[in-house]
Structure 1
Amino acid sequence: MIAHVRILSLKLIILHISTCFVILQLGSVYKLAFGPKSFVVISDPSVARHILRENTFSYDKGVLADILEPIMGKGLIPAGLDTWKQRRKVIAPGFHSAFLEAMIRVFTDCSERTVAKFEKFIEGGNAQGKTIELDLEAEFSSLSLDVIGLAVFNYDFGSVTEESPVIKAVYGTLFEAEHRSTFYIPYWNLPFARWIFPRQRKFHSDLMVINKCLDGLIKNAKETREEADVEKLQQRDYSSLKDASLLRFLVDMRGADVDDRQLRDDLMTMLIAGHETTAAVLTWAIFLLAQNPSKMRKAQEEVDSVLGGKKPTLECLKNLEYIRLIIAEALRLYPQPPLLIRRSLQADKLPGGYKGHEEGYEIPAGTDIFISVYNLHRSPYFWDQPNEFEPERFLIPKTSDGIKGWKGFDPTRSPGALYPNEVMADFSFLPFGGGQRKCVGDQFALLESTVVLALFLRKFDIELKGSPDDVKLVTGATIHTKNGLWCKIRGRTEALY
């Protein structure tokens, strides 16, 4: 029998399953009721592994797909299994090593725009003894939007320095996606809702603006198509290619003809998902570092030693070990998203999990499941001092300590990986999901976050404007702040670059 809890608000549901004390109170598998609806909440790596990897195709995205389909259509996140299988085969090869190396230059260029903007605010870069106050969450949001625009569909939003109707529409759509993920009544599905409710009228107007922009980019890419096999596309000289975007790759791929609507859905999905994740991880990385000055200095010393005054390359990033560990630790403490949503397509039997029922749990078809990534990442069963910011933890193996069904954490389990992942942690660490439907852009997001953080720490000293307690969390599709991350920023007096 699965333990039951009743709750009255969908926002409280998300907050509830993002609070680790419930593991200790209710166990790692329990049922959460919301009116006539109920959800099975999972906070155990062996059960998460069963759903995400061992029995992948017995589950789809369920509630998440219902919410996101009007926004992302049949993009990878909300797509049904048949569409997902087709599109992943096409999209996944696009994130190949040559593309990622080319993207490091995009990450650098966009970061340098923001750095230059800050330096201008601090009187042309002469920052010694002078401090500015900025909302870094907003700044990272603009920066990551520019990166996604250039990398995914070769469009320069220029949002770091200006605002356009397309940028306004993008943010409007992002806010609506967040709203729909946390609002308990899907009123937007009511007949005529798009005309009755001002919020929905604006949302559909925003979608039209974005779709018009994307349609134009798709049309241009198709008119300049240079068809080639996947292998040849991956061997292109992306360093000299004027348009190295993912859209170019998808359009040029031989045998992968697809209608414009599907391409638009793919691009919209990557725009929203890619933008949100990177902005959030950078926000929380700075939040954590600002409370740990010794760790910030250690990170800056590594950046000075590895980069000096050079631009980042993939080889440089391989040597920025501590910066990469900071990114991973920020994702552990503030996972994006804080929960993964699934719905069983057929009856299944879940493992009992740690301290659960030995015989496991029978679930019928149609069961909605929330895998609480937040709980997994902060569980005292799977992490030592789970609420502490300790980037070095990922360098040290952790035995399973007799926890049945879990193999512990072992960095050698995923040789060659630049970042900790679910394989090393045996599904107690799920920053990008796991199994077949793991995020295809994980390395893109991680490398982008590493480049941005390194370039900011090279140039600036950063501290919080107020107390850490003043930074209030809002938990929904991502974990972000309620009123921004306001920081004091000054040029590094010891920096020579």
Structure 2
Amino acid sequence: MLTQVSQGYFQPDVGGENIPVAQGELSDLAGDEPLFKALYQWFLDSGGVYKLAFGPKAFIVVSDPVVVRHLLKENAFNYDKGVLAEILEPIMGKGLIPADLETWKPRRRAIVPAFHKAYLDAMVAMFGRCTHETIRSLDALTEGNPQAMTDMEEVFLSLGLDIIGLGVFNYDFKSINKESPVIKAVYGVLKEAEHRSTFYIPYWNIPITRYIVPRQRKFRADLEVINDCLDGLIARAKQTRQADDVEALQARDYSKVTDPSLLRFLVDMRDADLSDKQLRDDLMTMLIAGHETTAAVLTWTLFALMSNPDVEAKMLEEIDSVLGDKTPDLEDLKKLPYVRAALAESLRMYPQPPILIRRSLADDVLPAPLNGDPAGYPIGKGADIFISVWNLHRSPHLWKDPNVFRPERFSEAHSNPGFNGAWAGYRPEAQGSSIYPNEVAADFAFIPFGGGSRKCVGDQFALTEATVAIAMLLRRYTFRFAKGPGDVGMATGATIHTANGLKVKVSRRQTEGAGAANRPALARASA
């Protein structure tokens, strides 16, 4: 009944008559566990491709690398973002995530060149400066207080917001030290996006609700605050525009450029789309998507390290030997293979997001999954598909000891002989020039940033940001659960959140060079 009321129509047959149907109850989704955990149990019972039906609405849940490779790479242009685009369009407009294919193609061509090596070099230095601001706030917290406590999820959210502000549109939120109206508006929009992704009835599509429902009125007000801020930044960038070819923009000396932001690149690019609406949509997409996801990666990495002291000890040994008291640069990050592997392992066990959403634009045949019908599964136009990244990353068919946090796995080749070569397995040497494990090395069993043509363009930005932050913070502080890992809990929206915050006891590390010797480094960074 809820489906009929909310959709207003019966969904046409999506095909897949030979797809196993999960034998679950709607009540399975009504408990405290997030949706992706229920999908995991049905995956174990029903296989890598199964159908989940509630009333007339049916979803196809995919947890198989062969089928994922088909959806994301081999036939990617037959699928758009479906329900996700409908949720995000009021927030991100025609930004990269919700954009239709015709809008997406030219925008991706414009944005991808902006993430070039010189830009990333400049960003790594900026990541260090922002992390030093976090260090200052934690130093103040721990000064004379050996039992200092804080919520590191909130700390990481503030750090992530400051980094995105500077890196994307050269705006300093200073959220580590204060909370401005723009910051409040950003968090308000994030909460509304999460609400829309988890609430069954899309009542916000009814025009009158924007005026009579308090949270919808607040959402519109928050959007107006952010849009006014972004419009001002866009106008300022246009006033100082210096148009040039892409190659010339990439050749700028970014160590001396006062504004190395993505916005500056997009505005200065010759023949660029300079419409305020499109630029604002691009910036809003990167602000929302890039801020919360990296904060979630750092939160769950720290959670895993506090739960696995042996892994933490190995990371500290590597960080101390490579960095000492210096702020890392891009070359230093290449010398931290275990730290990078730990971040990848965090993304494997706690993927951000845990579910990718697609909708078929035309009839298709999904290839035979590893343990499924060898004839494959014909599906119809309009079929809604959930790619369960959580299931894929924790599949016992694809990963040895999938529920164990073990960064070493990313330096070891692994395969499943029972699949007769249909899945290539995990091959460290196949990750190419990337210094982080990726979907190519895992043959689509590991997709923390998606894969194929619509893979996240900010993957290297996010990973280097997380590496700098976790290395610098672990070098200086010891973090321990305030109560215990069971008190943290898990919830989901666009990303995996804690249910109760990551409450920790934080103290300064008592190691040679990690205490007083850090103060000159902080002073240099400030200067």
Paired position in structure 1 for 2:129? 109
Paired position in structure 2 for 1:186? 202
Instruction: Quickly say closer, same or farther: Cα 1:160–1:463, change in 2 above 3 A.
Output: same
Paired position in structure 1 for 2:510? 493
The question of 1:318 aligning with 2:324 is answered no
1:11 positional shift: 6.0
Paired position in structure 1 for 2:26? 8
In structure 1, distance between residues paired with 2:327 and 2:412? 30
Structure 2 stretches lacking a partner, 5+ long: 1-17, 519-527
Structure 1 stretches lacking a partner, 5+ long: none
Note if contact 1:142-1:160 (Cα within 8 Å) is conserved in structure 2: yes
Paired position in structure 2 for 1:449? 466
The question of 1:332 aligning with 2:365 is answered no
Deviations 1:115-168 (A, max 9, x none): 111001111xx67xx131110000000000000000000000000000110000
Note if contact 2:190-2:288 (Cα within 8 Å) is conserved in structure 1: yes
Name whichever of 412-421 and 452-461 sits farther off.
412-421
Paired position in structure 2 for 1:85? 105
**Structure 2 counterparts to residues 254-273 of structure 1, below 5 A:** 254-273=270-289
1:20 positional shift: 2.8
Paired position in structure 2 for 1:370? 386
1:402 positional shift: 2.8
Q: Aligned with 2:401: secondary structure?
A: coil
Paired position in structure 2 for 1:151? 167
In structure 1, distance between residues paired with 2:61 and 2:114? 34
In structure 2, distance between residues paired with 1:388 and 1:17? 16
Instruction: Quickly say closer, same or farther: Cα 1:266–1:211, change in 2 above 3 A.
Output: same
Structure 2 residue identity aligned to 1:300: L
The question of 1:228 aligning with 2:244 is answered yes
Instruction: Quickly say closer, same or farther: Cα 1:79–1:10, change in 2 above 3 A.
Output: farther
Paired position in structure 1 for 2:148? 132
Structure 2 residue identity aligned to 1:355: N
In structure 2, distance between residues paired with 1:72 and 1:24? 35
1:423 to 415, 430, 440: 440
1:255 positional shift: 1.1
Instruction: Quickly say closer, same or farther: Cα 1:102–1:251, change in 2 above 3 A.
Output: same
1:297 positional shift: 1.7
Name whichever of 142-151 and 15-24 sits farther off.
15-24
Structure 1 residue identity aligned to 2:313: R
Paired position in structure 1 for 2:262? 246
1:301 positional shift: 1.4
Instruction: Quickly say closer, same or farther: Cα 1:300–1:90, change in 2 above 3 A.
Output: same
**Structure 2 counterparts to residues 207-218 of structure 1, below 5 A:** 207-218=223-234
Instruction: Quickly say closer, same or farther: Cα 1:339–1:106, change in 2 above 3 A.
Output: same
Paired position in structure 2 for 1:54? 74
Instruction: Quickly say closer, same or farther: Cα 1:331–1:204, change in 2 above 3 A.
Output: same
Note if contact 2:296-2:495 (Cα within 8 Å) is conserved in structure 1: yes
Q: Aligned with 1:217: secondary structure?
A: helix
1:352 positional shift: 1.9
**Structure 2 counterparts to residues 404-443 of structure 1, below 5 A:** 404=420, 405-443=422-460
In structure 1, distance between residues paired with 2:306 and 2:79? 40
Note if contact 2:158-2:175 (Cα within 8 Å) is conserved in structure 1: yes
Structure 2 residue identity aligned to 1:429: F
In structure 2, distance between residues paired with 1:305 and 1:192? 61
1:16 positional shift: 4.6
In structure 2, distance between residues paired with 1:121 and 1:469? 25
Percent of aligned positions that are identical: 59
Structure 2 residue identity aligned to 1:280: A
Q: Aligned with 2:491: secondary structure?
A: strand
In structure 2, distance between residues paired with 1:430 and 1:91? 21
Q: Aligned with 1:402: secondary structure?
A: helix
Note if contact 2:36-2:388 (Cα within 8 Å) is conserved in structure 1: no
Structure 2 length-normalised TM? 0.92
Structure 2 residue identity aligned to 1:23: F
Instruction: Quickly say closer, same or farther: Cα 1:99–1:375, change in 2 above 3 A.
Output: same
Q: Aligned with 1:3: secondary structure?
A: coil
In structure 2, distance between residues paired with 1:55 and 1:14? 30
Paired position in structure 1 for 2:522? none
Instruction: Quickly say closer, same or farther: Cα 1:8–1:298, change in 2 above 3 A.
Output: same
1:2 positional shift: 1.1
Instruction: Quickly say closer, same or farther: Cα 1:274–1:10, change in 2 above 3 A.
Output: farther
1:210 positional shift: 0.1
Name whichever of 471-480 and 88-97 sits farther off.
471-480
In structure 2, distance between residues paired with 1:93 and 1:306? 31
Name whichever of 425-434 and 32-41 sits farther off.
32-41
1:373 positional shift: 0.3
In structure 1, distance between residues paired with 2:434 and 2:81? 27
Note if contact 2:69-2:444 (Cα within 8 Å) is conserved in structure 1: yes
1:10 positional shift: 11
In structure 2, distance between residues paired with 1:434 and 1:272? 20
In structure 2, distance between residues paired with 1:34 and 1:229? 52
Instruction: Quickly say closer, same or farther: Cα 1:281–1:82, change in 2 above 3 A.
Output: same
The question of 1:219 aligning with 2:239 is answered no
1:477 positional shift: 1.3
RMSD: 1.4
Deviations 1:97-129 (A, max 9, x none): 110110001111111101111001111xx67xx
Deviations 1:42-91 (A, max 9, x none): 00000000010000101100000010000000000000000000100000
Q: How many residues align?
A: 493
Paired position in structure 2 for 1:75? 95
Note if contact 2:28-2:38 (Cα within 8 Å) is conserved in structure 1: no
Structure 2 residue identity aligned to 1:276: E
Name whichever of 298-307 and 432-441 sits farther off.
298-307
1:26 to 42, 46, 62: 46
Note if contact 1:306-1:316 (Cα within 8 Å) is conserved in structure 2: yes
Q: Aligned with 2:417: secondary structure?
A: coil
In structure 2, distance between residues paired with 1:8 and 1:271? 35
In structure 1, distance between residues paired with 2:172 and 2:268? 21
Structure 1 residue identity aligned to 2:94: K
